[in-house]
Amino acid sequence: MAEVVTRNKKLLDWVNEVKELCTPKEVHWCDGSEAEKALLIERMLETKTLKKLNPQKRPDSYWAGSDPRDVARVEDRTFICSERESDAGPSNNWREPSEMRETLKSLFRGSMAGRTMYVVPFSMGPIGSKFSLIGIEITDSAYVAVSMGIMARMGQEVLGVLGEDGEFVPALHSVGAPLAEGQTDVPWPCNPDNRYIVHFPETREIWSYGSGYGGNALLGKKCLALRIASVVARDEGWLAEHMLILKLTSPQGVVKYVAGAFPSACGKTNLAMVVPTLPGWSVETVGDDICWMRFGEDGQLWAVNPEAGFFGVAPGTSEKTNPNALHTLGKETIFTNTALTSDGDIWWEGLSDEPPAGLIDWKGNPWTKDSAGPASHPNARFTVSVTNGPSIAPEWEDPRGVPISAILFGGRRASLVPLVTEARDWEHGVFLGSVLASETTAAADGKVGNLRRDPFAMLPFCGYNMADYFGHWLKIGAGADQSKLPKIFLVNWFRRSEQGKFLWPGYGDNARVLEWVAKRVDGSVGYQENALGRVPEPGGINTDGLSITDEALEELVRVDGELLSDEVASIREHYSQFGEKLPEALAKQLSILAEAASKS
């Protein structure tokens, strides 16, 4: 391993301060080298944090099983500690900053005893890009250090860009499980009864305690790239979004870059890596989860994927749903909380129609179809470098970003919401994003009721008051060249018939909707108007080779008047939580929709 060098006084002082507070047995500055990665993996194999998978089946890949109490993000233990409670807003948990600091300091005092303190310099975004933000994560988890090396650009090169006086986001993490002299470690140390994931927006700080899992511990991801970055974006005039970025190329070689926000379980990663069924069309992946957008000198919105890896949900990923994701996972991957096969590979629900014999479940117990509970945890994950992906676009880490032509918002709705709706203008598009919703359970009668509103798919990730966030989107649009703004669309792959059957085939056929989107961007195809916006005319969606009736296509774009009235009431209730902070433009858009509902 190379010697890590920095003369950044602010960083050195902070590392010493944390060392005094947390009292680790040693400090390791991560250089990001392959030798270092091998060393940390060897340590985790010794502590049984990792298990090496069959190298013939899955080269250079490993399996981890978490503590069963530490398996996902913990929204109820995630805090935005702004100076004023009103700046956190109704969708965030707020605590007074100085009180929270005292709570955290008492928890972190001595928390790394007996452990190695890893200093992880990382860049969200290409190193040296004007888009990028530098963070320093201090952690006592080798699993986190290695995973950060996959999910971000990490190591000495980042310190070189930081220089002697560069700014960084300090991100402090501890699993909260100090080791006494001679105490044997456990494979997955954590402190599930004392979890805190805390953000201080004004001082751009992150403190995370008690969890070793995912977005709770890999602090460059949701914590920095969304919650803190959304505040930076508000202050500096750009957008930090929970969005995929894809490159769509027509048979004529015309390229469009599309961003898309989808709540969980709505096919976001599948769309980012989709294999089109339309001959001649191709989709390449720029990013599957986070998108930072800034205006270029040409007046267009340019976007980068600030991550360097995929941290995806494994269950449900298959050759049918996402073949590109499966091919990405063929080597150099860390799997967490999947099942294990008898021959040293991994398995999860949906990977195959029938589970293989001799499975070991995610908790380490023998599993059969008669066992209680699934073989893999529903939130089981894979962590893998973006460069492993066969669908990755060559320009995925271009420091300039890529120019965005269209923005999609998508939810899981069995009724009411058409297959694809184009917003009439930017303001109307912000309205559609602000009321984005997915059904949490099957809505057997088709009525609104079992909905979770997730505005812009940012509900758990916006670092400030969401009403102010809506206002920021409106301000971005108002100050832009209207002719160069991306068009905004609402999509819904999950519309059902009265018999409960999906009306749209989905997966690779979603590229047919992307084709319509691209043609609307060019103005080369028409539309028809309804109460929600602009939808395809009859024959507007290319259905060549698709077994779908004209009646189903008509139903896919129909808006039911009775359901629309219910939706207006639901949106009104949703908006009421924001009080006087709700932008007037969105109240006006709701009035327009209410009037349309009264006439339908």
- Among residues 30, 266, 291, 462, the one annotated as catalytic is 266
What backbone phi and psi angles, to 5 degrees, belong to 511? -65, -20
Residue 104 DSSP symbol: H
Instruction: Give the DSSP per-residue string, 374-408.
Output: -SS-TT-EEEEEGGG-TTB-TTTT-TT-EEEEEEE
3-state secondary structure at position 178: coil
From the DSSP assignment, how many helices (H) and strands (E) are in the chain? Answer: 16, 30
Told to judge if 291 belongs to the known catalytic residues of this protein, a careful annotator would answer: no
Dist. CA 584–CA 430, nearest whole Å: 12
Find tokens 């201080």 and name the residue.
200
Dist. CA 240–CA 334, nearest whole Å: 27
Nearest to 139 by CA among 217, 43, 34, 47: 217
Which residues sit opposite 172 in a β-bridge?
Answer: 138, 207
Instruction: Give the DSSP per-residue string, 110-148.
Output: TTTTTSEEEEEEEEESSTT-TT-EEEEEEES-HHHHHHH
**Cβ pair 530, 506 in contact under 8 A:** no
Which residues sit opposite 339 in a β-bridge?
Answer: 347
Nearest to 88 by CA among 233, 230, 216: 230
- Measured at the CA of 527, the angle between CA 524 and CA 533, to 5 degrees, comes to 130
Residue type, 213: Y
What count of residues does the chain have? 600
**Cβ pair 206, 219 in contact under 8 A:** yes
Dist. CA 141–CA 219, nearest whole Å: 12
**Cβ pair 261, 460 in contact under 8 A:** no
List helix spans (H) across 396-531: 426-434, 466-478, 511-522
What backbone phi and psi angles, to 5 degrees, belong to 153? -75, 125
Catalytic positions, written as ranges: 266
